[in-house]
Chains A and B, each alone.
Chain A
Amino acid sequence: MTTFLQHCIDAISLGSLYALLALGIALIFGIMRLLNFAHGELITIGGYSLWLFRDLPALLQIAAAVAVVVIAALIIERIAFRPLRGADGAVLLVSSFAVSFLLQSLAIVVFGSRAKGVALPDWLSSNVNVGSLRIPVISIVTVASAAVLLSALGYFFNRTPMGVQMRAAAENFGTARLVGVRADSVITTAFAISALLAGIAGFLLVAQGGTVTANMGTAPVLIAFVATIIGGLGSLTGAVYGGYFLGVVTVVLQVALPLSLRPYRDAFVYLAVIFVLLLRPQGIIVLRTSLLRA
């Protein structure tokens, strides 16, 4: 029983991380039809910012790092995506690849190819004992951050004028403009939110792993892409559920796979996803109404 609960906590914690990343990707895709491959580099920027601000008090350090990620995302949108607005999705995709490679190379040039250790407060890597259950504090922080962010965004998307305009734009960008939704403000807000989520995810990843590398964003974002596809590309709620679904699948495989195959866990995750998509090409989740209603 204890082990089972332990695995549940792992699954929800990992799923929360994927959900944050998947939502950020789905938001940009919904509004711009852009699969932003540079999303992982936002995580990396967050990681290196945490390292740069290592002398600040923890909360300030995290806030500053997230702020840098948001500013970076807005600059990237201006330089790499705004001039291409209205272009084919493939053109935008290639541009996002270019940004991704450029930033990874830049990180290696500036910070070197060796991992940088980031010291975060000790309590983050401690455990809380509940009966025989040992819950890592970072898991609690991850789940709580996701819960707060997702409910705040749920409120934003459903209850505020900007949020409703963004959902309209995500469904049909052209028609949204016809009823007065400003393309620039919607896209800028989408990038800011997407970067906020990536920045927080970056902090959570660094807190888990303790180090920053130039390609630290690539693997989690790849999984998050899969989560958005499972959730039905462009659906915000679907992306969140897709993230949690992959968290569960990953932990189940982690437990069920024989020891010798465990290093290949993510390969099995992708295999499972291929089967899911063979059976349900539109994604598993096709929702009309719920948390984010989009």
Chain B
Amino acid sequence: MAELLRIEGLDVRYGRTRALQGISLRVERGEAVGLIGPNGAGKTTTLKTIAGVLRPTAGTVTLDGRPIAGDGPERLVRRGLSLVPEGRQIFTTLTVAENLRLPTYCGRSKDPDADVERELERFPVLRRYFDQPAGGLSGGEQQMLAISRALLCRPELLLLDEPSLGLAPKVVDAVFDALTQLRSEGVTVLLVEQSAARTIEFADRTYVLSGGCVELEGTRDELLGDDRIERAYFGAGAVGA
């Protein structure tokens, strides 16, 4: 498989706090990669830095062999990176239709109407509220809209930040079904999630972050049942106690 994304020695600071301390990871084309870890481990920071929202203080990010660090998000979208942000962040005052057409304006979609139609087939509920303000959608529906919106940027790499956050278990199932569907379509995915077991199960490979460092990396089979994951979440002391 060809390497799509490569991160090396990534350092990100918020003021004096080092949020990421030299993270390295890679994503192959067509692969689904998970990123898990406790709160404050740096998962969201990693995604935001890849998407160009945050600037690294050190390290490199390369997409398809070319460096991208320093470019703003609107340029990175045009190079094939698309982020489904934490908390969905759909445009509530815009209609569902406008939310979906917005990403097609950046020019990666060759046939916007057909692409929007495909998303409406993926999530039929969006068709029902097509001309309504998106603020009226439920949390799960908003998440679906956020995923469709990101896909309509026609990304090479889809970044997802906690798509199951705040959703009812049944809705979480629906979201993961949609993600599994995406994988079978060949979309490359980097998924950040709270739920460790579910992510490991879903992804080809998963990185475990802790305290701004990569603690552990492995395939589904390597990580399932690995007690080092628990240690990453609760700290070495918790295991000893």
Contact = CB atoms under 8 A, between A and B. Distances in A.
A174 interface: yes
Given A161-B105, A180-B103, A175 B77 contact: no
A183 B106 CA distance: 13
Contact of A168 (B51, B72, B102, B135): B102
Nearest to A169: B91
B51 A179 contact: no
B74 interface: yes
A178 B85 contact: yes
B141 to A, nearest CB: 16
A168 B91 contact: yes
Given A178-B51, A179-B153, A180-B105, A168 B74 contact: no
Contacts of B77: 178-180
B101 interface: yes
Interface in A166-211: 167-168, 171-172, 174-183
Interface in B64-90: 72-74, 77-78, 82-83, 85, 89
A165 B83 CA distance: 17
Interface in A141-175: 161, 164-165, 167-168, 171-172, 174-175
A172 B89 CA distance: 8
Determine the main DSSP class of A at the interface with B. Answer: helix
Range class of the B interface residue count: 20 to 34
Contacts of A172: 89, 91
A181 B74 contact: yes
Given A167-B93, A171-B94, A293-B93, A179 B149 contact: yes
Interface residues of A, number: 21
B72 A177 contact: yes
Interface of B: 51, 53, 72-74, 77-78, 82-83, 85, 89, 91-95, 98, 101-103, 105-106, 108, 133, 135, 149-150, 153
